[in-house]
């Protein structure tokens, strides 16, 4: 085996255009890999960066795709067009590594055009996100086809958790030996407790009063509506802070607005921050929260839980997907079970989930001794198991195993 002389990343997200866990993963993994080998990132946007071993190039969308079509199709068609542009550009890397279905076709094509191994990381799986049809319309059929075609032809598929690996083996025709588990990681120097509270005060949060925190975009997958529906059952002594923006659709945005307004009429201390906060501000919010809540109904891994734990904050999360591989109940937080149907959340039975979320939040947040213990043990767990440097080395070893 030999390590690659250069690696190419294909990604939808890269700073400053990061809105989810996949973007965080690409940002930090590309940086850590660039300490070991040259890395070129081809991503959606207008980025143009050269820093040591790291080269970043953004790709814009063909504007014609927005004309005379269903607006919901634009995202998938735009991803396809940018994947074509990424793949056709001259490639001097030894490995192509794709992240999310948005760029999987770029890796599929680069493998054929440039005769290099194609690695694919699954940050989520389209068959387990049926609500995406609300956002993409019939283009959801295109995204699922891209994902299936790419997974079943990749030289190696990386699952971010053991549960995601099981899903891949169940849903796709892919040999067992091609599917590998490499967890997500966390920057332990960047994500750590801080003393500052100016960001909290700027957004109307009382630092002297405990609060439950949510951080993510507004999407069905992240379960934000279920947390909003839990607010009437959350102890009124707790503030509820929702750092949630960028709704997937107008429909879920309206649902979120109506839910927060209804909850706010019955109690105070419900604070909804609708903008994407700078990372230092988010770290402040993580640090001072009594508990962080991750109510996802589908979550292959859940980097946000690592971020909270690194800031010594207790976590209450859904017992689904890769989350139980991160959050240890009774040690770093508590897990809330969901009603499942055919391996996915049952949308017909959401009320009990919201009540159970509230009960777990109250149990942890109102017990200062417990939440302090969970916070300390959470920090220890991420230090021992989830450093980006170790994850970069595992990824590089996988690349080496594919090279002739």
**Is domain 7-185+387-402 annotated with CATH 1.10.260.40?**
no
Mean pLDDT in order along the chain per 10 residues (404 residues) = 91 92 93 97 96 97 89 92 96 97 96 97 91 88 95 97 95 97 94 97 96 94 94 97 91 93 94 94 98 94 95 96 95 88 57 93 97 97 92 96 90
Query: Which residue, 212, 258, 264, is CA-closest to 239?
Result: 212
Same fold, 7-185+387-402 and 198-385: yes
- The whole-number pLDDT of residue 346 equals 58
- The whole-number pLDDT of residue 349 equals 64
Second CATH level (architecture) for the domain 198-385: 3-Layer(aba) Sandwich (3.40)
- The whole-number pLDDT of residue 19 equals 83
- Can you give the residue ranges of every domain in the chain? 7-185+387-402, 198-385
Q: What is the pLDDT of residues 141-180, one digit of tens each?
A: 999 999 999 999 999 999 999 999 999 999 999 999 999 9
- The whole-number pLDDT of residue 118 equals 97
DSSP helix/strand/coil, 69: coil
- The whole-number pLDDT of residue 246 equals 84
The alpha carbon dihedral of 48, 61, 13, 294 has a sign of: positive
Burial class (CB in 10 A: 0-12, 13-18, 19+), 310: buried
Q: Establish how many alpha carbons lie within 13 A of residue 127's alpha carbon, considering only the half-sphere containing its beta carbon.
A: 13
Structure letter (DSSP) for residue 276 = P
Q: Where are the beta strands (DSSP E) in 208-278?
A: 211-217, 239-245, 270-273
- The whole-number pLDDT of residue 348 equals 56
Beta-sheet pairing, 340-341 with 344-345: antiparallel
Q: What are phi and psi of 221, to 5 degrees?
A: -55, -40
- The whole-number pLDDT of residue 351 equals 84
The alpha carbon dihedral of 39, 40, 46, 51 has a sign of: positive
Question: What whole-number distance in Å separates Cα of residue 381 and Cα of residue 346?
Answer: 31
Q: What is the mean pLDDT of the chain?
A: 93
Question: What whole-number distance in Å separates Cα of residue 277 and Cα of residue 285?
Answer: 10
Q: What are phi and psi of 211, to 5 degrees?
A: -145, 150
Question: What whole-number distance in Å separates Cα of residue 171 and Cα of residue 377?
Answer: 35
């Amino acid at each position: 085996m030999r390590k690659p002389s250069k690696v190419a990343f294909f990604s939808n997200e890269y700073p400053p255009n990061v809105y989810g866990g996949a973007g965080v993963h690409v940002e930090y993994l590309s940086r850590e890999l660039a300490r070991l080998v040259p890395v070129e990132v081809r991503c959606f946007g207008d980025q143009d960066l050269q820093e040591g071993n790291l080269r970043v190039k953004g790709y814009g969308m063909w504007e014609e795709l927005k004309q005379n079509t269903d607006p919901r199709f634009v995202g998938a068609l735009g991803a396809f067009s940018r994947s074509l542009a990424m793949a056709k550009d001259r490639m001097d890397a030894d490995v192509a590594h794709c992240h999310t279905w948005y760029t999987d076709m770029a890796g599929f094509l680069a493998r054929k055009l440039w005769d290099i191994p194609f690695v694919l990381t699954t940050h989520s799986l389209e068959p387990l996100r049926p609500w995406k049809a609300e956002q993409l319309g019939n283009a959801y059929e295109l995204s699922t086809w891209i994902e299936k075609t790419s997974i079943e032809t990749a030289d190696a598929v990386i699952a971010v958790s053991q549960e995601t690996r099981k899903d891949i083996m169940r849903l796709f025709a892919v040999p067992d030996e091609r599917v590998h588990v490499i967890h997500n990681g966390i920057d332990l120097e960047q994500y750590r407790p801080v003393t500052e509270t100016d960001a909290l005060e700027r957004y109307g949060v009382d630092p002297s009063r405990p609060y439950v925190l949510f951080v993510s975009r507004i999407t069905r997958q992240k379960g934000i509506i279920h947390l909003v529906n839990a607010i009437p059952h959350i102890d009124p002594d707790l503030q509820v802070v929702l750092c949630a923006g960028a709704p997937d659709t107008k429909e879920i945005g309206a649902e979120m607005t109506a839910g927060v307004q209804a909850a706010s009429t019955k109690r105070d201390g419900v604070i909804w921050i609708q903008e994407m906060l700078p990372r230092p501000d988010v770290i402040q919010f993580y640090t001072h929260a009594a508990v962080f809540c991750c109510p996802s109904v589908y979550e292959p891994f859940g980097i946000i839980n690592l971020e909270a734990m690194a800031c010594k904050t207790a976590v209450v999360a859904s017992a689904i997907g890769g989350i139980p591989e991160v959050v240890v109940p009774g040690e770093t937080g508590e897990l809330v079970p969901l009603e499942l149907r055919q391996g996915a959340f049952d949308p017909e039975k959401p009320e009990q989930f919201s009540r159970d979320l509230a009960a777990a939040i109250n149990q942890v947040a109102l017990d200062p001794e417990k939440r302090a213990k969970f916070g300390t043990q959470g920090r220890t767990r991420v230090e021992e198991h989830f450093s980006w440097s170790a994850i970069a080395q595992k990824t590089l070893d996988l690349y080496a195993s594919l090279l002739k």
